[in-house]
Structure 1
Amino acid sequence: MPSLTTPPGELGFAAPSFTLKDVDGGMKSLADLAGPNGTLVAFICNHCPYVKAIIDRLVRDAAELKGLGVSTIAICSNDAVHYPDDDFPSMQRFAEQHRLGFPYLHDKSQDVARAYGAVCTPDFFGFDKELKLRYRGRLDSSGRQAGSPDAKRELFLAMKQVAETGQAPAEQVPSMGCSIKWKEA
């Protein structure tokens, strides 16, 4: 399956609200999880090679961003019927295996992915403290394989800037990944 890149973000776009089931079994809402200085919403899944290539870096960056008042929320929206590696029990195992220090939510209906305009995994939406979109780019130069250890931390630096100034860099390189696995109509 060919990889996709994210379209440019409509900066200023207001984050659509949601309430979804977390891998811990509880229901979590955007309002409950938003950070005081920004919120990163990451559409990921368990089986995608692009996600696997960056998950440890995402965990690292989310931990550092938390210290800056930026929360991270991961959402899996893939069709688990046709892609059973992305079902809820697999999400729970993935979260435990990678020691996700942030909520990993299940968008079973796919309504949240559609509301955000998510197209691939990983797909990152970086919001300011007012939940307005400021960043729609990649984590770093990693692709299907992890990038070099000294790769520029594009997502981290952008969200740090959002936390400190409310604005992200003007230059944003699109994220690349596997398409979201949409349910058949």
Structure 2
Amino acid sequence: MAVVVRAGAAPLWWLGVVAAGAGVLPPGLTGRRIGVLAGAALFLVAAAVVAYARRGRYRAPARSAARAGKHDILQDRAVTVRNWRRGHRWWLLLGFLAALGTAFAVPAAGGLLLAGCGAGLWLKAAWIGRLEQDGEALLWVRVDRLTPAAGRPAGRRTAEGYRTTGIAAGDAAPGGARRRTPTLV
């Protein structure tokens, strides 16, 4: 489940950083200094709101998650990330273009807002990772619940689709990060 949350963090962060960097170039209506200060405030607010919003929607189904059975299909981390990014590429592009467009009014603010949303998603994935470590089980969303028609990973229709496996299962570490395989010496 944390993989799906984390899948949007990197593109939002990097598109936001690029948009903020390009947004500093035009002076804008408010001036660069006010734009960057407003963007910094928006970054902090967006990161906090995204990180703390709807935590109950993740916590409640995690408590009632069923153990993954032999016939449950669970996707690899890379496939999940790739599918999420393909399914949301137009929204990411629109967000990037909107962040660039706001640079003519308030320089860098839109890009920093976008980057703050990405940072908030990363913080939320880290929080889910702590939930997984405390429960000593990775949380998974079944493949049939990851389709765009099924909704979000914490939506009402996906709540019964949560499955658990051991911490060492799969290619994702707690929190959705790539599992690092130890090198043998």
**TM-score, structure 2 length as denominator?**
0.27
Higher strand share: 1
Structure of greater relative contact order (alpha carbons < 8 Å, 6+ residues apart): 2
**TM-score, structure 1 length as denominator?**
0.27
